[in-house]
């Protein structure tokens, strides 16, 4: 069983301490705050499982809040996809679904309040001028010539910005903090800008939109969030988060604590929505839910289960130190889950015809295979053996290499769950390609009978009766990138796309697999785990995706390619 043992982490320690001291009266309210500008990826799963998991474990609530302050990049499609993915992962926000855009009126009111208190001003410089006066990491910034304009003038301009009197880029509202602060985020950050653009929820009501740093902390406070968890890149924004809330102490109900943790970096993946969009829009993949994508929608179609992803996020833990997690950790979590839960079935990916010369022509002999080798209670299914069967091309070698124990001329192997067979001849076509192989079987050696152990053989190969096997479209997927750190190199990440990441074949499968339900997972014996594609499977006509092989075949390659930088995640 995949029993999740919840391990402690520094955030749980903080909450435990808050509960001891009574800081929040035992309340734990967290939130997952995605921007609806793309589909969620596996990195988001870390944040979702953390936020919803804490709320669950401490008897609190977790909000789903859309940070929808940037209408040019946002869309309802993304809102829907995000809701879907969070629910699929097994979390429920109940009635607690919020949108930053619901707070636009309040945010505006607070902005006016800051202006009247002399803590915000309208700056009429261009974006370029603002950039120039901002300074750098080694140089302090300089005050804008508009910094000391009277509050009444700023207020008038701000109202007219809202009323739509000015074109984009002519004015912004800035917090008045400190242009010489060593923290650039504190150098009079812009908190409102003009954008004459339709918003997916507020329509054309607004033509000024609040910036993330201003919106986020206020949204947290208005929702009574206790612990506002975010990734490490927001550490330098925390002073601004606190500054805004300190100014509004009489306006908002509480001052949540921002706590940063390390984001997930996973090998063979790109973890930024911008890059994922590039893959979709450039048709490098077949959409956001392409089974090769490390989006949650893609992983789902690939055959990942919610339990496997939750197990993964638990296993990698939460810390303050940036690190890379190897893709095999995620794959192993899926193997663990599916090993436990998937029915065993036979699928032949590259069929080769095998004729048992001494097997009676019309005979069908029942052989029995367990549905799960460790779960006798799951029972067995019947596999009919007939004179002509298919085996896997890879299970035959005309001139066997050293250590090859499967079928070759003169060699004896077991047809799984059936008899020992010996290869007696090979038939080739005009081009010299093997068309069929001929064997004889030993009727005294049937699996499960006393004769099964007369002779020991090393090869034990799977097969399907030619008369019964059914064709099924099957996609053999591999990793999307052939480099473990595709977005940290000098080259464009797309140059590391693996040209062999998708191969479509017609496999032969057991007849019962034609009834596979969408998203049902199977172990194809000796091959790996396959899922019936949730979009393309039709009743009686499954399409299978290979989720993962039985064993890791990539470990060696990952060792050979060291990271280009340890923390080169590019935004
Ligand atoms: P991206 O750069 O992929 O667009 P983002 O941080 O801009 O990601 P948001 O929609 O703002 O995406 O993210 C919502 C939440 O998910 C944030 O709290 C963010 O910190 C968290 N998150 C995003 N990426 C990761 C990651 N790789 N690991 C852990 N948490 C993440
Ligand atoms: Mg973001």
From the CA of 323, the nearest ligand is: 1
DSSP per-residue string spanning 374-434 = T-GGG-EEEEEE-SEEEEEGGGB-SSPPTT--SB-TT-EEEETTS-EEEEEEEEE-TTS-E
Instruction: Work out the average pLDDT over 402-417.
Output: 96
Q: What is the CATH number of domain 273-343+472-560?
A: 2.40.240.10
CA–centroid distance, residue 518 to ligand 1 (Å) = 30
Q: pTM, whole model, 2 decimals?
A: 0.93
Is the Cβ–Cβ distance between 89 and 314 less than 8 Å?
A: no
Residue 5 — very low, low, confident or very high, per pLDDT cuts 50/70/90?
Answer: low
Ligand 1 atom at shortest distance from the alpha carbon of 274: 4
Closest C-alpha to 228, from 18, 70, 5: 18
pLDDT of residue 551: 86
pLDDT of residue 563: 44
pLDDT of residue 105: 98
Check if 322 has its Cβ closer than 6 Å to any atom of ligand 1. no
Percentage above 90 pLDDT, the chain: 94
pLDDT of residue 69: 97
Instruction: Work out the average pLDDT over 54-65.
Output: 97
Instruction: Work out the average pLDDT over 238-256.
Output: 98
Beta bridge partners of 261: 231
Q: What is the CATH number of domain 347-462?
A: 2.40.240.10
Token pair 């599916």 in the structure block, residue: 338
Pocket test for ligand 1, best of 31, 33, 34, 219 (most atoms within 8 A of CB): 34
Q: Do domains 273-343+472-560 and 347-462 have the same CATH topology?
A: yes
Per-domain residue ranges of the chain = 10-261, 273-343+472-560, 347-462
Is the predicted pLDDT of residue 561 greater than 90, yes or no? no
CA–centroid distance, residue 35 to ligand 2 (Å) = 6
pLDDT of residue 4: 55
Please indicate whether residue 35 is annotated as part of the active site: yes
DSSP-assigned letter for residue 295: B
Backbone angle region of 515, left / alpha / beta, with phi > 0 → left and psi within -120 to 50 → alpha: alpha
Check if 44 has its Cβ closer than 6 Å to any atom of ligand 1. yes
From the CA of 272, the nearest ligand is: 1
Residue 309's contacts (CB-CB under 8 Å, 6 or more residues apart) are 42, 45, 49, 89, 296, 299, 330, 333
Strands 420-428 and 347-348: unpaired
* Count of other CB atoms within 10 angstroms of residue 327: 21
Please indicate whether residue 273 is annotated as part of the active site: yes
Closest C-alpha to 77, from 40, 49, 33: 40
The domain defined by 10-261 carries CATH number 3.40.50.620: yes
DSSP-assigned letter for residue 516: P
Ligand 1 atom at shortest distance from the alpha carbon of 265: 27
**Per-residue tokens: 394:** 């890879």
């Amino acid at each position: 069983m995949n029993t999740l043992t919840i391990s402690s982490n520094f955030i749980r320690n903080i909450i435990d301490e808050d509960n001891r001291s009574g800081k929040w009266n035992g309340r734990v309210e967290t939130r997952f705050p995605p921007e609806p500008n793309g589909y969620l990826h596996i990195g988001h799963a870390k944040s979702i499982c953390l936020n919803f998991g804490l709320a669950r474990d401490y008897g609190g609530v977790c909000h789903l809040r859309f940070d929808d302050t940037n209408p040019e990049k946002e869309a309802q499609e993304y809102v829907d996809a995000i809701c879907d993915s969070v629910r699929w992962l097994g979390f429920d926000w109940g009635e607690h679904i919020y949108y930053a855009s619901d707070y636009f009126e309040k945010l505006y009111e607070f902005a006016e309040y800051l202006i009247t208190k002399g803590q915000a001003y309208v700056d009429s410089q261009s974006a370029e001028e603002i950039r120039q006066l901002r300074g750098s990491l080694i140089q302090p910034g300089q005050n804008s010539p508009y910094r000391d304009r009277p509050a009444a003038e700023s207020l008038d301009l701000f109202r007219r910005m809202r009323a739509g009197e000015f074109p984009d880029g002519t004015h912004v509202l800035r917090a008045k903090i400190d242009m010489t602060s060593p923290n650039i985020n504190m150098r009079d950050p812009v908190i409102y800008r003009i954008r004459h653009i339709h918003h997916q929820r507020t329509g054309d009501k607004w033509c000024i939109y609040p910036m993330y740093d201003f919106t986020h902390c206020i949204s947290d406070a208005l929702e009574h969030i206790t612990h506002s968890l975010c990734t490490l890149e927001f550490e330098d924004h925390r002073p601004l988060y606190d500054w805004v809330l300190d100014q509004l102490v009489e306006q908002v109900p509480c001052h949540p604590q921002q706590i940063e943790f390390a984001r997930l970096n996973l090998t063979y993946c790109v973890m930024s929505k911008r890059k994922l969009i590039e893959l979709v829009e450039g048709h490098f993949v077949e959409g956001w839910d392409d089974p090769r994508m490390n989006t949650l929608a893609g992983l789902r179609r690939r055959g990942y289960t919610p339990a496997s992803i939750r197990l993964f996020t638990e296993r990698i833990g939460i810390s303050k130190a940036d690190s890379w997690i190897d893709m095999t950790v995620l794959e192993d979590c899926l193997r663990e889950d599916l090993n436990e839960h998937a029915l065993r079935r036979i699928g032949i990916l590259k069929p080769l015809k095998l004729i048992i010369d001494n097997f009676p022509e019309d005979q069908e002999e029942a052989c029995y295979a367990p549905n799960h080798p460790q779960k006798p209670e799951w029972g067995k299914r019947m596999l009919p053996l007939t004179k002509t069967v298919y085996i896997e091309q890879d299970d035959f070698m005309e001139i066997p290499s050293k250590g090859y124990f499967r079928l070759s001329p003169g060699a004896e192997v077991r047809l799984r769950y059936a008899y020992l067979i010996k290869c007696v001849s090979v038939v080739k076509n005009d081009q010299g390609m093997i068309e069929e192989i001929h064997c004889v079987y030993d009727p005294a050696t049937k699996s499960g009978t006393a004769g099964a152990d007369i002779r020991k053989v090393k090869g034990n190969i799977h097969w399907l009766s030619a008369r019964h096997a059914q064709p099924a479209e099957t996609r053999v997927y591999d990793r999307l990138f052939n480099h473990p750190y595709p977005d940290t190199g000098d080259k464009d990440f797309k140059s590391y796309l693996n040209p062999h990441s998708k191969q479509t074949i017609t496999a032969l499968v057991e007849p019962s697999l034609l009834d596979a339900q969408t998203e049902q997972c199977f172990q194809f014996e000796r091959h790996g785990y396959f899922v019936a594609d949730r979009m393309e499977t039709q009743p009686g006509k499954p399409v299978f995706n290979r989720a993962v092989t039985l064993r890791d075949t990539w470990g060696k390659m990952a060792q050979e390619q060291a990271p280009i930088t340890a923390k080169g995640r590019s935004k």
